[in-house]
Amino acid sequence: MYTKPQTKTVVCLLLFVIMVAAVTAVTTTHKAIAQNGGLNINNPSQYWNSPTSGLPNYVTHHTFTSQYLKAPYNIVGLNVYTPPDYNLPQNQGKRYPVIYFLHGLNGDENNYFSYFPNLNSGLMGMIEGTASTNNLPVPNAIVVLVNGGAQSFYNDFKDQFHGPNSDFPIQSESIIINEVIPFVDATYRTIANGNGRAIEGFSMGGRGALKLAFNHSEMFCSVVAYAGAGYEEVPINNYYKGPHPVEDRMSTILATNRSAILQNGLQIRLVVGSQDNAQKAPNQTLHEQLNACGVSHQYEPSLPGVKHDYAQYY
């Protein structure tokens, strides 16, 4: 359903090299502002799998056991929307493109419904936005609402508090790439390759969508970041406030993966509301970094009348 256009490899400009050097010079040492360090997780049993009831038609809640987490907190939840024609007898051989949606800060797999109680009003905007990014007609698509961890910023943590060997690991990127996507492809009739898979997110989820798409550009045809936040640092008051580890900063991720992004023809779109003041500067900087790397993208820096509210972006 989606296609990747051919692109030419270009060299990053000196300007961007200077930007990356300036950012990576910042220390990665985090000062603890919480007594015991790590994230303040009040209800660990619901961190990866939120209770779900009364889901709209065509939406199914799934769970699976993650190898990246530790029992009893190793069950991951996700909601999957299938288009109305998915189960029609004449379509049993049909495969569908998939859009993965990543929630914002303190969200979960049900976060979408707090913005769009009317399921269809948001879903059509999501699907239309993805189609527009790819310059394609609007398709019938499967939509996956992911639980990526409330304050994960879609990183794989490596420290003593939430690293792989900790009591409560947070390994969001690995879970989504190595478990969520294969689970969906095995459970549904998907177009199980990069030409049929798109990803997008809001705020922290916008950062996550870009991070995963840049790191794994062979797996996605397009990425949309609505009011992407936290590209270079954790902007909230917790133990991790301050710069991300170097390898998790968007400037580093872009510079590291530039050649693959160009080779795979990843379609990129950044959207920011005219009244979403906190996200204007970070997205402008990312826009300039993409230009410096010669990476083609769509940039909408001032969507009229839109604040930091996902419901206003469609």
Residue 72: asked if its preceding bond is cis (omega within 30°), the reply is yes
Given pLDDT bands bounded at 50, 70 and 90, which one contains residue 16?
very low
- Taking alpha carbons only, the member of 116, 118, 124, 64 closest to residue 99 is 124
Count the helices and strands in the chain (H runs, E runs): 8, 10
Strand partners, 60: 80
Q: What is the pLDDT of residue 28?
A: 36
Sequence spans of domains, the chain: 14-24+43-313
pLDDT digits (tens, 9 = 90+) for 163-197: 999 999 999 999 999 999 999 999 999 999 999 99
Q: Are 290 and 254 in contact (CB under 8 A)?
A: yes
Strand ranges (DSSP E) for the chain? 59-65, 75-81, 98-102, 142-146, 197-202, 222-226, 233-234, 242-243, 267-273, 298-303
Task: Note the helical H segments in the chain.
Answer: 14-24, 111-115, 119-133, 172-175, 181-187, 204-215, 250-264, 280-292
Integer Cα distance of 184 and 33 in angstroms: 39
Q: Are 198 and 99 in contact (CB under 8 A)?
A: yes
Residue 166 structure tokens: 């900790």
Q: Distance between the two ends of the chain, CA-based, in angstroms? A: 22
Integer Cα distance of 289 and 213 in angstroms: 16
Q: Are 292 and 12 in contact (CB under 8 A)?
A: yes
Q: What is the pLDDT of residue 26?
A: 36
pTM of the complete model: 0.88
* Dihedral-angle region of residue 230 (phi above 0 means left; psi in -120 to 50 means alpha; beta otherwise): left
- When mean pLDDT is compared across 25-29, 205-209, 284-288, the lowest value belongs to 25-29
Over 80: is that where the pLDDT of 142 sits?
yes
Q: Tell me the C-alpha to C-alpha distance, in Å, between residue 54 and each of 11, 58, 82, 234.
A: 51, 12, 16, 34
What would the CATH number be for the domain defined by 14-24+43-313?
3.40.50.1820
Average pLDDT, whole number, for the chain? 87
Integer Cα distance of 178 and 67 in angstroms: 10
State what percent of residues in the chain have pLDDT above 70: 86
pLDDT digits (tens, 9 = 90+) for 270-309: 999 999 999 999 999 999 999 999 999 999 999 999 999 9
Nearby residues of 45 by Cβ (< 8 Å), 6 or more positions away? 72, 73
Over 60: is that where the pLDDT of 131 sits?
yes
Q: What share of the chain is helix, strand, coil (3-state, %, to 5)?
A: 35, 20, 45
Over 70: is that where the pLDDT of 3 sits?
no
Given pLDDT bands bounded at 50, 70 and 90, which one contains residue 36?
low
Q: Which amino acid is at 98?
A: V
Residue 111 structure tokens: 């976060």
CB neighbourhood size of 214 (10 A): 23
Over 80: is that where the pLDDT of 8 sits?
no
